[in-house]
Every structure is written in structure tokens, then in C-alpha cells.
């Protein structure tokens, strides 16, 4: 089961030396994570552009989908998997 978050809350992300996320904090909890998969999305160039780097990550208690909004430089949590 998956929980898609209606509003993608901003999160704090710690990056490793390779620039990939190694931990994130959300809702008062900090979790060490490992990147399982990553991809880039760029679309809507004719209106407000969307440019995101997505990361599916696994931690000891979370499997989640995070993204870096490359337009404004912020990290967000989009989805939690059960």
C-alpha cells in the first residue's frame, strides 16, 4: 500500500559526498536512508516549468519517494510506502 501525500511537504535532507540523499527528517523523525532508484522529470516548459530529481529511498522504518525541486532548490516528500 502507498500513501500519496496531497501536499508534498518540504523536508530536510542530508547529502553524501556523491550528492545523493543519505538521511532525511520529516514529522519530527530523522531516518538514515539508501537510494534504491533515481530519475529526472522535466516538463511543462511552456508554462511553469517542472524540473525534479526523484529518489526512491529505503530506511529502517520507511520506504519513500523524495524529490529535489531543481527550480527552487527545495526537497519534498511525495509518497510513503507501507
Of 49 and 35, the one with more pLDDT? 35
Q: What does pTM read for this prediction?
A: 0.88
Q: What is the rounded CA–CA span in Å between residue 73 and residue 70?
A: 5
Residue 57 CB-density burial (10 A; 0-12 exposed, 13-18 middle, 19+ buried): buried
| Number of residues written out for the chain | 82
Dump pLDDT digits (tens) for 36-46.
999 999 988 67
Alpha-carbon torsion angle 26, 27, 29, 31, nearest 10: -30
CB 24 within 8 Å of CB 77: yes
Amino acid at each position: 500500500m502507498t500513501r500519496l501525500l496531497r501536499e508534498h511537504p518540504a523536508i530536510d535532507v542530508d547529502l553524501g559526498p556523491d550528492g545523493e540523499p543519505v538521511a532525511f527528517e520529516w514529522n519530527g523523525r530523522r531516518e538514515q536512508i539508501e537510494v534504491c532508484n533515481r530519475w529526472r522529470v522535466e516538463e511543462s516548459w511552456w508554462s511553469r516549468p517542472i524540473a525534479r530529481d526523484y529518489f526512491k529511498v529505503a530506511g529502517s522504518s520507511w520506504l519513500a519517494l523524495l524529490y529535489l525541486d531543481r527550480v527552487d532548490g527545495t526537497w519534498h516528500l511525495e509518497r510513503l510506502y507501507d
